[in-house]
Amino acid sequence: MLLLYMFKIFKKLGFERKVSNVQAIKESLDKAKETCKRLADTELKYLNIKKYKYTADEAMRELGVTSELIHQLAEDYVIQILKTEAQFLAYIKELKSDKKENKELNYTKLRELVHKNLGVARNLRIKDAEKILQEMMVKEDLDYLTICFEALRAHAIILKPTCAYNTIKLIELKSSL
């Protein structure tokens, strides 16, 4: 009886929503880890990114900035990766359409998008993202590029799960308006 009463109080105070958000973040993180493992064991095996774990130490030391700043910049990077997903997929769709129509493929817009994200990944010393983005700069197989972006997105979620979850929810909200 006491537990039921406490549950009702917590529910009124909004704790139920926070618990469900924590659960959703955990599920998102688990799914991202599963995606990373699957791709690191198959299509992206030769990149040797399976056991990579980001630490801000190298970036802090080499750039001479605080841990707080590196973590804020890492969050900005995650937001940027997730925000560029729609653009990236649109560019891939456009290239696939051009290929189907036997048009010359122009990767410029895609490469510019990748190059911008590569610069940030290099500055923050995010080695797994750097390897994936380097692949995306030179490869032309559209299915492979889509796989690379899938891995990049999953790695971004792993890097900052709460930030990624909030960004995805905000993108979903904006697209529903």
Q: What would the two tokens of residue 41 be?
A: 């064991």
Q: Name the nearest CA neighbour of 130 among 142, 113, 147, 114.
A: 114
Q: How far apart are CA 32 and CA 44, in angstroms?
A: 15
The domain tally of the chain equals: 1
Look at residue 86 and tell me if it is in a domain. Answer: yes
| pLDDT above 60: residue 21 | yes
pLDDT, tens only, 114-170:
999 999 999 999 999 999 999 999 999 999 999 999 999 999 999 999 999 999 999
Look at residue 43 and tell me if it is in a domain. Answer: no
Residues in the chain: 177
| pLDDT above 80: residue 10 | no
Q: Which domain holds residue 119?
A: 55-177
| pLDDT above 60: residue 14 | no
Look at residue 65 and tell me if it is in a domain. Answer: yes
Look at residue 24 and tell me if it is in a domain. Answer: no
Look at residue 27 and tell me if it is in a domain. Answer: no
pLDDT at 88: 96
Look at residue 115 and tell me if it is in a domain. Answer: yes
Contact 154, 29 (CB under 8 A): no
Look at residue 9 and tell me if it is in a domain. Answer: no
pLDDT higher at 15 or 154: 154
pLDDT at 78: 98
Look at residue 34 and tell me if it is in a domain. Answer: no
